[in-house]
Amino acid sequence: MRLIRGAMLAFAWTAAAWAAAEPELRFDALTQSVVATGLDPALLKALARDGVALRPAFGVFLGSAELPMLGDYEISQSAVRFTPRFPFLAGRAHRVQLDVAGLYRIAGLAAPAAEARPVTISFAVPDAPAKSPKTSVVSIFPSAEVLPANTLRFYVHFSGPMTRQAIAKHVRLERADGQPVKGAFLEMENGLWDPQSKRLTVFLHPGRIKRGLALHEREGQPLQPGNRYRLIVDAAAEDEDGQPLTAPFIKEFSATKEERTPPNWKQWKLDAPAAGSKDALALTADRPLDHALFDRVLQVTTADGRVVGGTVRVDEGETRWRFVPYSAWPAGSYLVKIAAELEDPAGNRPTRLFDEEIQESSHRDESREVAIPFQIR
């Protein structure tokens, strides 16, 4: 874009004023552009024609680059302004070279002898102003303060997306006396994240938990019954903008004896709402279950297998699952289907013990599914 604003009525005066001026360059932080002033108005007028390329004589370079960057040159009555095609890189040095003699050549004018030397400046675009931290740990599951010593995993929920890099440096397990529990976690330099980068899954080392494995025999499991622990997410963990957390998060808990029995789904209590209402269906388990799985792997269907849509919430210390349908409950027979992969925090699955629900077609324990019938009346 080349603009000449207004007619050059005061040309003679401007030319006289210019005679005393020196070509000058400056970085205009407000508009993120570079401005050349002190140029001969006759030169500017000649340069303002369509199709004149100024880049060879007025170049803006990133660092030590040899080629000038792309951008727009806007010519006014008193200045040339360069605006880069892409924003200048924050925190990086840029240099500008203005070859005034070259501009005269481009304009097809004879250069005054005094204009032989190029003018250069360097500027650094300031780093983006430090943003204040905005992301925090919202919760850690299991939420209970007493956990079985063979607990397998923790879920750390953040309020916003995190960077996926190097999270391992920022999550640690300590005993109550502040001594770190070494090798507590399965190696996880960049962690295991949900697609939104808001939930981190931290595995306690399964090799140390599983009985009979050498690692278990040699190093023992990370959590010992009777001890108190602190799971710490330190504030230096970075969110997706590279900002630290608003505060560290500490989950204190004590370990109790290992849970080595499967959840007993036959003891689970189902509260069915009334027909015609949009009230929640509530399923209360005999113990806390894995938060993510409890949230995800249950399904409500009609007796003939059609899926009922709705929203799910897990509460009461991961012992209760609440399902609110999108539309009011019609009276009838329904099932809550519990996928085989549902586990308690120690990885015990309800279907491992109860043979009653084995599907005839299945040969693998893992594929068993439990279905609990209920009526809406």
Nearer to another protein, 69 or 232 (CB): 69
Q: How many CB atoms lie within 10 A of CB 171?
A: 20
Omega before residue 142 within 30° of 0, cis = yes
Nearer to another protein, 70 or 324 (CB): 70
Nearer to another protein, 94 or 251 (CB): 94
Nearer to another protein, 70 or 274 (CB): 70
Chain residues 33-72 in contact with another protein, contact rule CB under 8 A: 60-62, 65-70
Rounded CA gap, 287 and 261, in Å? 11
Nearer to another protein, 68 or 288 (CB): 68
Rounded CA gap, 31 and 128, in Å? 14
Q: How far is the CB of 65 from another protein (least distance, A)?
A: 3
Q: How far is the CB of 291 from another protein (least distance, A)?
A: 23
Q: How far is the CB of 20 from another protein (least distance, A)?
A: 34
Contacting residue, 84, 142, 288, 325, with another protein by CB under 8 A: 84
Q: How far is the CB of 201 from another protein (least distance, A)?
A: 18
Tokens in use for 16?
């006289």
Nearer to another protein, 70 or 247 (CB): 70
Contacting residue, 16, 21, 29, 89, with another protein by CB under 8 A: 89
Contact of 39 with 19, CB cutoff 8 Å: no
Q: How far is the CB of 341 from another protein (least distance, A)?
A: 19
Decide if residue 85 touches another protein (CB under 8 A): yes
Decide if residue 331 touches another protein (CB under 8 A): no
Rounded to a whole number, what is the distance in angstroms from the first to the last CA of the chain? 74
Q: Within 13 A of 230's CA, how many CA atoms are on the CB side?
A: 13
Rounded CA gap, 252 and 96, in Å? 57
Decide if residue 88 touches another protein (CB under 8 A): yes
Rounded CA gap, 143 and 232, in Å? 14
Rounded CA gap, 145 and 227, in Å? 12
8-state DSSP, 169? G
Nearer to another protein, 125 or 232 (CB): 125
Q: How far is the CB of 66 from another protein (least distance, A)?
A: 6
8-state DSSP, 210? S
Chain residues 170-229 in contact with another protein, contact rule CB under 8 A: 195
Nearer to another protein, 68 or 263 (CB): 68
Q: How far is the CB of 92 from another protein (least distance, A)?
A: 9
What is the x/- site pattern for another protein, positions 90-109, by CB under 8 A?
----x---------------
Omega before residue 68 within 30° of 0, cis = no
Of 14-22, 36-44, 84-92, 235-243, the segment contacting another protein by CB under 8 A is 84-92
Q: Is 20 exposed, middle or buried (0-12, 13-18, 19+ CB in 10 A)?
A: exposed
Torsional sign, CA 89, 247, 159, 142? positive
Decide if residue 29 touches another protein (CB under 8 A): no
Contact of 212 with 100, CB cutoff 8 Å: no
Indicate the residue type of 45.
K
Nearer to another protein, 139 or 163 (CB): 163
Torsional sign, CA 299, 303, 308, 313? negative
8-state DSSP, 222? S
Decide if residue 121 touches another protein (CB under 8 A): no
Contacting residue, 5, 7, 12, 86, with another protein by CB under 8 A: 86
Token look-up 């989950």 returns: 251
Nearer to another protein, 6 or 195 (CB): 195
Torsional sign, CA 38, 39, 45, 50? negative
Q: How far is the CB of 68 from another protein (least distance, A)?
A: 7
How many residues at the interface with another protein, by CB under 8 A? 17
Q: Which residues lie across from 122 on neighbouring strands?
A: 95
Q: Which residues bind another protein (CB under 8 A)?
A: 60-62, 65-70, 84-89, 94, 195
